Structure 1
Amino acid sequence: MQAQPLIAVRDVEASSRWYQTLLGARSGHGGKDYEQLMFDGRMILQLHRWEAHGHLHMGDPEVRPYGNGVMLWFLTEDFDDAVDRATAMRADVLDGPRENRNASHREIWLRDPDGYVVVIAGPYGDVGM
């Protein structure tokens, strides 16, 4: 089994560019209504325009914060490169980069353009690197 998170966004194409830049991912579908973001041949995130296709359980775009209590968490082997990309794109940094000794890795917490919390974490054991 593999998780394939889907988030609802205002502008699929803009969000796709944001996530591709941050994560070093690529488009696997493309479009104004729906996108699949790919990394190493695997889908890591789906983006769906709020109003597209009339999904009843997508949520209400007027109710914020989006994803209340849910964080999009990405594990990466290239943590330093991910931090450099986040800095270059002037991403909204909520915390870090910092060491999380409990999890034995480094992490940076961001907010995406729609307000979702995004965490980039290094591999287990990279504390103190």
Structure 2
Amino acid sequence: MSRFPGYVYRHGDEPDPRFTLANERTFLAWLRTALALIAGGIALELLGLDLNPGLRLAASLVLIAAGTLTPILGWIGWARTERAMRTGNPLPGSLLAPAVGIAVVAAGVLVVLSILRAGV
């Protein structure tokens, strides 16, 4: 039986289904996070808040870009974890958590700067 993606499933042995399903739930959580980041970026720009327009746009774009990249990095993380479980190797570290954290901090800093500049 052929399963997608082959580069994950053709290696090693079938792990405990509970671990595979937990890995899948983590991937789905990253998809929800991506939707929230994109929605937040769109809302920030479209609500027309009384903020510095350039900084507000920059914060919106950071959130939207992070939301767009999150499913890609989430898929890579899912595949790396699934393959490690199948081959009995240690689980890899997360690529996504630091990237999303940095993006959210950057957007937050841009919004704070925008608020401070709007008051000037």
TM-score with structure 1 setting the length: 0.24
Higher helix share: 2
Structure (1 or 2) with the greater strand fraction: 1
Larger radius of gyration: 2
